[in-house]
Amino acid sequence: MTIDNGDEVLMKHFNPANILLPKKNFDKWAVVACDQYTSEPEYWNDVEKIVGDEPSALHIILPEIYLSDDNSARINDINANMQQYLDGDVFDTYENSMIYVERESNNTLRRGIVGIIDLEDYDYRKGATSAIRATEATVLERIPPRVQIRKDAPLEMPHILLLIDDPQLSVIEPLAEKKDSFKQAYGFELMKNGGHIDGYFLPDEVIAQVQDALEALIADKDDKLLFAVGDGNHSLATAKECYNQSKNPLARYALVEVVNIHDKSIEFEPIYRVLFHVDAKDLLDKFTAHTQANGNGEKQTFRCITPDSDKEIEVKATAKLPVGTLQTFLDGYMKEHPEVKIDYIHGEDVVENLCKQENTLGFIFEGMGKDELFPAITADGSLPRKTFSMGHAADKRYYIEARKIK
């Protein structure tokens, strides 16, 4: 079996890796994905208090709420902390490993497997035919700030979730009944209501079974789509760009968690929109006029929330999904109104709370069913950006495993 050392081309689409785990204090080490709670500084303030000065993923990521025009000082600190952790007694290294993961959250159990994918198999461009594809449009402007964070980093940590279309439950689900025979990697409570998580190292023979089962999913199909990016598309696109720039053999691979879209725990949640510094009446009038002029015969409904009102509007559809109708209009509107800012929000309650502020406008709408995803990607390519989320913010992947990329 090939070891993740950057010297050989791995022959499967999903492979074991040299995984780094903290030696202790997993409860303070693991923090939620950096692209969550981007309008809620109180969340990240609480995390800082919980972690303190202890070794933690918090000290080697840049929460997007803190992104600015000049992130150089924070990035320098992140890289220095990574090197300090590598040089110190923070990590144990588990060579040639895959980890079976069970995540309990909100009375559901999500199963997955952590390993590496080859970025040569990934293409985020619309219309791609690669084995790994984006599920939503990639915003190229969002990649450079992330490249600045990753390009000199000696470590990566995944919050990326890749989806497989396995209705027969042949890849991941059989591991559940075998887990008691696996060596446990970790088991602890995730901070800030993140639930409980357990990880188990897969034996070599089980890794081989997982790989064969994955390859079988596309063996007889004309379209060789194996993995669709469920979460972390821009992070994976960043990894691809950094590899293209450096051609560093270790950077050719990315650590991810693979989950089955047919897992009962996987529920697609809409990602809503909140606009700031906006004239709500002007935007809604123009949105209605735009859809009236460009829409088809189908109707779509949006709940629109401002500090003073909470009402539904019905418009003509200009795209199959409500999010497509709305986002296409917003892209044009915001070019003409650069003062307007947008955030992408999980949860109706968060939208309602944010829209208590002056000059805000929130949109709540019907989301996409998960059974529509793989057929949509195969037929039409990627979906509008921020179309769906797999669960609420607290259900997102926490940073736990790490891997050297230099």
Say what angle helices 143-150 and 72-87 make with each other, to 10 degrees. Answer: 40
Start-to-end CA span in the chain (Å): 22
Burial code of 309-345, b = ≥16 C-beta within 10 A, e = fewer? eeeeeebbbbbbbbbbbbbbbbeebbeebeebebbeb
Task: State yes or no: pLDDT of 383 exceeds 90.
Answer: no
Three-state DSSP class for residue 305: strand
**pLDDT band, residue 5 (cuts 50/70/90):** low
How confident is the prediction for the chain on average, in pLDDT?
A: 93
> At 192, which amino acid appears?
K
Task: State yes or no: pLDDT of 390 exceeds 50.
Answer: yes
pLDDT single digits (tens) 44-59 = 999 999 999 999 999 9
Lookup: tokens for 86 = 């590598």
CB atoms within 10 A of CB 7: 9
Q: Nearest-CA neighbor of 296 among 311, 316, 325? A: 316
Q: What is the CATH number of domain 269-389?
A: 3.30.1760
Q: Nearest-CA neighbor of 244 among 405, 404, 120? A: 120
Q: Give the start-to-end residue ranges of the domains of the chain.
A: 17-267+392-404, 269-389
Q: What percent of the chain has pLDDT over 90?
A: 76
Task: State yes or no: pLDDT of 126 exceeds 90.
Answer: no
pLDDT single digits (tens) 131-144 = 999 988 777 777 88
Q: Is the dihedral of CA 4, 166, 159, 153 positive or negative?
A: positive
In the chain, helix, strand, coil percent, each to 5?
35, 30, 35
